[in-house]
Amino acid sequence: MILRLIAPLVLLAASIASCGGAPEAAPTDSQVVAEMTDYKIAVNVPGAKAGKTKIGVRNLAAMEHSFEVIKSDLPPDKLPVDGASAKANEDGKVGEIKSIPAGKSASVTVDLQPGKYVFICNIAGHYQLGMHTGFTVEAP
Ligand SMILES: [Cu+2]
């Protein structure tokens, strides 16, 4: 008698959890995973060996973000910013994901060369708010 009562409740709980908007997992087989929150980018590793690299990006935030991979020797927070567009200069860009909606994941595969990179979100104003992180690529 009790089981009959519990079973529907368990099903109900399961269906709520499955459509509750939990952030998607990063795409599988990504060597690098970046997680975006409102105005931060966190990477699971500080660097990688040179070569083709799949970067999975999870947008855990409540708003859309973008993801740009820029080869630059500048410190991550020192890219030039254009005052009119409120966007960071993308010189050295080797790959990007133009839009990752809130709660979604996406990936980009880039051919990384040894050197310093900066990962940013370049939706107007977001770079200045802190959406940047450094990444170092070493010779294979
Ligand atoms: Cu952003």
Q: Name residue 99's amino acid.
A: S
Cα separation, 108 vs 54, whole angstroms: 6
* Residue 76: CATH number of its domain: 2.60.40.420
CA-to-CA dists, residue 92 to 1, 24, 54, 59, 89, angstroms:
67, 29, 18, 23, 9
The answer to the question of residue 72 being in a domain is: yes
The answer to the question of residue 130 being in a domain is: yes
The pLDDT tens digits of the residues spanning 31-68 come to 999 999 999 999 999 999 999 999 999 999 999 999 99
The answer to the question of residue 88 being in a domain is: yes
Task: Record the pTM.
Answer: 0.82
Cα separation, 56 vs 85, whole angstroms: 27
Q: Ligand 1 mean position to 38 CA, how many Å?
A: 7
Q: Ligand 1 mean position to 131 CA, how many Å?
A: 6
The answer to the question of residue 65 being in a domain is: yes
Q: Ligand 1 mean position to 88 CA, how many Å?
A: 12
Nearest one of 73, 77, 34 to 53, comparing CA atoms:
34
The pLDDT tens digits of the residues spanning 73-121 come to 999 999 999 999 999 999 999 999 999 999 999 999 999 999 999 999 9
**Number of domains comprising the chain:** 1
Structural domain for 80, as ranges: 23-138
Q: Ligand 1 mean position to 4 CA, how many Å?
A: 48
Nearest one of 65, 50, 73, 69 to 123, comparing CA atoms:
65
